[in-house]
Amino acid sequence: MPNKEKSAASEVAIYKFYKIEGEKLTRGRRECPRCGRGVFMAEHKNRNTCGKCGFTEFRRSDESKKQTNKS
């Protein structure tokens, strides 16, 4: 089978994950605690996920806190 070429739309623009403020460089997304520097986690509605190792962190929402307080 011939190798399929990736389209430009499927490439991730890493430069969008950093912000430059004056002489400081800040990271815009969370880095994976397992993989280390340079591997960013994807931001979903209720979780952060690493695409390299599969590590997932779930976020607590205000709705789940309200439900536990009612009980």
Measured CA to CA, the distance from residue 65 to residue 44 in angstroms comes to: 19
- pLDDT tens, position by position, 44-63: 999 999 999 999 999 987 65
| Beta bridge partners of residue 42, listed in sequence order | 49
pLDDT value at residue 42:
92
Phi/psi of residue 68, nearest 5 degrees: -70, -30
At 56, give phi and psi (nearest 5°).
Answer: -130, 135
Tokens representing residue 64 in the block: 């789940």
* CA dist., res. 64 & res. 69, Å (int): 9
Write down the pLDDT at residue 1: 61
First to last CA, the chain: 59
Mean residue pLDDT of the chain comes to 81
